Amino acid sequence: MKSMSAVDIKACVRELEDEIVGGKVEKVYHYPPDEIRIKLYANGRKDLIVEAGRRIHLTKFPKESPRFPSSFAMLLRKHLEGGRIESVEQHDFDRVVKIKIERKDSKKYLIAELFSKGNIILTDENFRVIMPLKHEYVKPGEKYSFPEPRLTPFDLNEQILAEICKSESREIVKVLATKCGLGGLFAEETCLRAGIDKKKKSNELSDDEIKLIVKTIKDIFEPVVRGDFKPHIVVKDGEYIDVLPIELKIYEGYEKRRFESFNEALDEFYSKLIIESAEKAEREESEELRKLKRRLEIQFQTKEKLEKEMEKYRRIGDLIYENYALVDKIIKAFRQAMEKLPFEEVKKKAKQIKIVRDVKPESVTIELEGYAVELNLSKNIHEIADEYYERSKRAKEKLEGLLKAIEKTKEEMKKVEELEAKKFVASVRIVRRREWFERFRWFITSDGFLAIGGRNAQMNEEIVSKYMEDKDLFFHTQTPGAPAVILKRGQEAPETSLLETAQFAAIYSSLWKEGKYSGEVYYVLPEQVKKSAKAGEYLPKGSFYIVGRRNYITVELSCGIGVDLKNLRVMGGPISAVRKYCDYYVEIEIGDKSPNELSVEIASKLAKMAKDEEKHLVRSIATPDEIMKFLPPGRSRIKE
């Protein structure tokens, strides 16, 4: 995976100066081995990721908090939490970033080395090392040594480049990359733009070519100096291959995904690669799941065998009775023959009888409708048939036990699969500012009106007493066991919004749980909703009584759940509204799956529906936990 170049860092740090300087450090997390995340408050909540040897940028994809903080995380918290970001700097156009954090009692530096294997080092204000993430080359108590100053593209002029080229006999692209601080990509870009063969020996360049190279380098890096960034990700065959703050000719003709800021581009680039890596690991089944699949395969093979045995022995028992006269004649004939003749002679004569397959001293095997039927000569027809029926019964008993074992294996597999899916989707999640109404049940009607409903009696009471206003409408099902639903500015809303809100009230009521496919919902004006009981009566918490005329709407129960990428959220409710606002959605109906099971299935289906470049974003937003908030009560299923 690509490490950030010095150019990348310069562009990123320039944005970070505007984004996080002055921000307060709220929490620090360490994700072994090389990654830390800093939660900040700077004009809103922000998350800064620093990965040793690779990257630094703001992220909207922070991981779940580690269950047990590492000693390095505890140390960073001790020294940095509550402090304010005083500055963010790139050291000498090198792949080193210094973050200065000030508290009342002290000033500290967090130094991020983004080259080679990298490191993250906490120092005091004099750059005395307090603690490094990695101890191989840096020790506590020592003064931190920054990399030696080196030539950068901004220092380069014709005289300096001429001296370097004369002393080198290597290819010019290699000289530019290593001696002039351009790195491989920008050295290739320089040669391409200048029209100079990159394999030409540097000491063979003419003065005009040297002059052209210097001018080209200045042209390339001028946007970096000005801060005139054009953040984008380079895409080839659907794969992200690079992320850049400026345009390069070397990627001319490639697909580009453009972003408002370079931090956003970096976040998208690295998060997608990390999630794809996680998806690959997810596809590589765990050993436990492989064992369960092998067990299930053997169980199904055994099931098929027992089913055949059960049917075979039952059918043989039936055939014995269906051919009663023939079987009785054969048994009697062989008994008499065994008494009068030697066994070998009986066996020899039996070969001439078409239906006889085998003869033994105590039995004869005949063929009936393709089945081999062994007739014990010491038993009568009823005893022989009963023996086959008993074999069929034993096979059936074994089959019944096996079917239970198969269901148990399936349940175990489902638990393992769900656990692995949850581990994956929990590993990355979207962080965004939630709207005030998202603590309730909610949806936006297709006409743009907000509807909110309670999740419990306490919320029902809060919605009516705190959020219901004069221009709203109150909705409730005719049957008990439903949320109190408010359509904000409902008296101004068209009929489509009234119908959708009625559907919303019904979807999340006991009607769904009871398996009813339609129901009656009424709506009234706010002044018709009374929160205090009549004299001599009692109203439970979250309950109300209605005075005056009610307006009734009969609705069908159908629910949609989808992901709204623009607002980075899941939405559920009437299918017409979900279809309008969600990029990807499923329709659900009353069914047989528990909310826990169905939420995992919906999360997986939404991710499969998404475009390749959006799959990771959909997975991050539409987690099973988030989907669960929008599922109706009771059991449901995806409508095919």
Sheet of 441-444, strand order: 441-444, 450-453, 485-487, 473-477, 518-524, 551-556
Backbone φ and ψ for 194, nearest 5 degrees, come out as: -80, -15
* CB neighbours of residue 18 within 10 Å: 12
Distance CA 250, CA 244 (A): 12
> Do you know the residue count of the chain?
640
For 52-66, 465-479, 623-637, which range has the lowest pLDDT when averaged over its residues?
52-66
Position 286 in a domain: no
Position 114 in a domain: yes
Domain CATH number, residue 202: 1.10.8
Last residue in a domain, options 116, 132, 148 = 132
- In three-state form (DSSP H/G/I as H, E/B as E, the rest C), the secondary structure along 335-354 is HHHHHHCCHHHHHHHHCCCC
Tell me the average pLDDT of the chain.
91
Residues 457 and 564 reside in one and the same domain: yes
User: Rounded mean pLDDT of 383-403?
Assistant: 95
Residue 105 pLDDT level (bands cut at 50, 70, 90): confident
Residues 89 and 178 reside in one and the same domain: no
* CB neighbours of residue 36 within 10 Å: 21
Coil/strand/helix, residue 249:
helix
The whole-number pLDDT of residue 617 equals 83
Residues 119 and 163 reside in one and the same domain: no
Host H or E run for residue 553: strand 551-556
Residues 162 and 27 reside in one and the same domain: no
Q: How much of the chain, in percent, has pLDDT values that exceed 70? A: 94
In the numeric block, the tokens 């919320």 are attached to 459
Position 302 in a domain: yes
In the numeric block, the tokens 């989707």 are attached to 425
The whole-number pLDDT of residue 277 equals 66
pLDDT at 281 over 60: no
The whole-number pLDDT of residue 615 equals 85
User: Rounded mean pLDDT of 296-306?
Assistant: 94
The whole-number pLDDT of residue 535 equals 58
Last residue in a domain, options 262, 281, 300 = 281
Residue 417 pLDDT level (bands cut at 50, 70, 90): confident
User: Rounded mean pLDDT of 551-566?
Assistant: 94
| Stronger pLDDT, 273 or 85, i.e. the higher one | 85
User: Rounded mean pLDDT of 282-310?
Assistant: 85
Position 540 in a domain: yes
pTM above 0.75, yes or no: no
Coil/strand/helix, residue 360:
strand
Q: How far is CA 120 from the centre of its chain?
A: 29
For 73-77, 278-282, 331-335, 462-466, which range has the lowest pLDDT when averaged over its residues?
278-282
Residues 471 and 604 reside in one and the same domain: yes
The whole-number pLDDT of residue 619 equals 86
Position 145 in a domain: no
Residues 178 and 325 reside in one and the same domain: no
Residues 452 and 515 reside in one and the same domain: yes
Residues 261 and 328 reside in one and the same domain: no
Residue 3 pLDDT level (bands cut at 50, 70, 90): very high
Position 400 in a domain: no
**What's the number of domains the chain is made of?**
4
Of 261, 264, 242, 260, which Cα lies nearest the Cα of 252? Answer: 242
Residues 470 and 599 reside in one and the same domain: yes
Give residue 208's identity as a one-letter amino acid code: D
User: Rounded mean pLDDT of 369-396?
Assistant: 94
Distance CA 233, CA 258 (A): 7
Residues 565 and 469 reside in one and the same domain: yes
The whole-number pLDDT of residue 274 equals 76
Residues 440 and 375 reside in one and the same domain: no
User: Rounded mean pLDDT of 195-206?
Assistant: 96
The whole-number pLDDT of residue 290 equals 84
Under a CB-based contact definition with an 8 Å cutoff, are residues 15 and 22 in contact? Answer: no
pLDDT at 288 over 70: yes
Q: How much of the chain, in percent, has pLDDT values that exceed 90? A: 80
Residue 507 pLDDT level (bands cut at 50, 70, 90): very high
Of 221, 223, 176, 396, which Cα lies nearest the Cα of 303? Answer: 396
228-247, pLDDT tens digit by residue?
999 999 999 888 999 999 99
pLDDT at 20 over 80: yes
Domain CATH number, residue 78: 2.30.310.10
pLDDT at 282 over 80: no
Residues 236 and 303 reside in one and the same domain: no
User: Rounded mean pLDDT of 115-136?
Assistant: 96
Beta strands at 485-487 and 545-546: parallel, antiparallel or unpaired: unpaired
Last residue in a domain, options 132, 150, 179 = 132
Beta strands at 107-113 and 255-258: parallel, antiparallel or unpaired: unpaired
Of 450, 432, 433, which Cα lies nearest the Cα of 441? Answer: 450
Range of the domain at 115: 6-132
Under a CB-based contact definition with an 8 Å cutoff, are residues 551 and 499 in contact? Answer: no
Position 254 in a domain: yes
Under a CB-based contact definition with an 8 Å cutoff, are residues 172 and 201 in contact? Answer: yes
The whole-number pLDDT of residue 631 equals 96
Position 423 in a domain: no
Question: Could you tell me the two tokens for 45?
Answer: 């909540």
